[in-house]
Amino acid sequence: MPFNLSGHPVVVIPIGQTQAGLPIGMQIVGKRWCEMELLAIAQELDREIGGFQHPAGY
């Protein structure tokens, strides 16, 4: 919530799963007025991590 009030852009990406198969996410906060830079960082991390994988059974 503090980042919403301060005007900093935030993106959340999936980074893995728990042992029970539940998704884990990472929240990344960027500099004010640098949304495109933040999205580029998130895209690069998503490529390295391997993208979203549905939990077993979904």
Q: Answer yes or no: is 11 within a domain.
A: no
User: What integer pLDDT is reported at residue 54 of this predicted model?
Assistant: 77
pLDDT of residue 52: 77
Residue-wise pLDDT for 8-41, tens only, equals 999 999 998 888 888 899 999 999 999 999 999 9
Please state the domain count of the chain: 1
Residue 12 lies in a domain: no
Distances in Å between the Cα of 33 and the Cα atoms of 4, 20, 43, 44, 53 are: 13, 38, 18, 19, 31
Q: How many whole angstroms separate alpha carbon 35 and alpha carbon 9?
A: 6
Q: Is there a domain that residue 3 lies in? A: no
Local confidence band at 45 (pLDDT 50, 70, 90 cut-offs): very high
Rounded to an integer, the average pLDDT of 36-51 is 92
| The predicted structure's pLDDT at residue 23 | 85
Q: Find the domain containing 32 and state its range.
A: 25-49
pLDDT value at position 20? 85
Task: Please check whether residue 44 lies inside any domain of the structure.
Answer: yes
Task: Note the Cα 13 to chain centre separation in Å.
Answer: 2
Contact indicator for 13, 25 with CB cutoff of 8 Å: yes
In a domain, 57, yes or no: no
